[in-house]
Structure 1
Amino acid sequence: MDDVEILDVDDNNSPRQVPLKNQDLSQLSFTVGDFLSLYGWYLLAVTFTVFLLIQQLRKRRSSQSQQDSVPQTQLDASLVTKRQEAMEAARRKMQEELDAKAAIFKEKQRQQEEEKRRQKIEEWESMKQGKSCKGHKPSESSEEASSSSTVLKPKTDKKPLRSPDYNPLMGQGGSCTWRPGRRGPSGGG
């Protein structure tokens, strides 16, 4: 492509040769070599300074991580210890609450047993005296003794459930009757 020639045509129609030149780049004759010759030492100093700063930062990070790792493990150990102590305290508190509830429950059970025993004794005593024990409440025992003038009427409103001549052994009807078993060989196999 260097061998390309451009011919200009003038008004007089005669071709003319013009060498190809980029005039914009000719003004930028400033090259990398010129840049390094002017600013090379400054560039070298800046590069060296940046390198030293990076080395210092790496040393500080590694020393901080080592210093932080020791207290971090100590903090972790103390944190774990505190958590375990808090869990133990919570467990002790829950166990004490459970023990208190169990004691209350046992006391209620004991009182109920004592009440049942006392009622049985009162029923036994009332049976010895000839009083009825059905529907007998301890609080009503004194009231019943004082109000003995009350007369109970037998209930004659209802009809008897069965006729007076009913005997279940006679087979008077119903669906439950005895039937002899089947004859023949057993069905087992």
Structure 2
Amino acid sequence: MSKKKDKTELGSVFGDTVSIQKVNNRLTVKSRPKRTGKKGKLSEKAIAQHERFRQASRYASSVHNDEELNKLYSAGKRGKHESAYTVALADFQNPPKIGSIDVNKRKSAGKDEIQIIATDDFMVVQVSVEIFTADDTFIEQGEASENSKRKVNGWFYTPTVAQPLQPGMKIVAAAYDRPGNKTEREVVL
């Protein structure tokens, strides 16, 4: 791909093969993108992606107009060409991920502790935990707390029910990011 620094406002398509575009004060010459499918018709998947991007754009605009959120997302910029808007746009489109759910015995209290490793491209704001018996009977639910002292993306939940966690029990963790995206993961002990 050829690049040239230039101050002109050039941008064009030449025939069916070459397109010139100005991005960050640079002219970029590249092959013209090809549209798949019938001309003018988008697939259902493409329409769904367009709608998702439209929603992300609305969310990023609302972040841009909210002073407090704008400062928060500005702190998440990774490069000099990023803005709070682009960070919020990406955050809306990328749900959080739950890496692992582990059960540890705390030696001091003799209680179980559930550790959930949850990550997001910007920020995980909440992790909730539900516990079920082996026959899917609901036992309890609660919010995990983030432990910043351990320097991991760890969230910790201590069950309040006196019954210890047993093999066959099911733990369902749900992680939420700032735009409200939700990811669930389930493990059977």
Give the TM-score normalised by the residue count of structure 1.
Answer: 0.15
Higher strand fraction (1 or 2): 2
Give the TM-score normalised by the residue count of structure 2.
Answer: 0.15
> Of the two structures, which has the highest relative contact order with CA contacts closer than 8 Å and spacing of 6 or more?
2
Higher helix fraction (1 or 2): 1
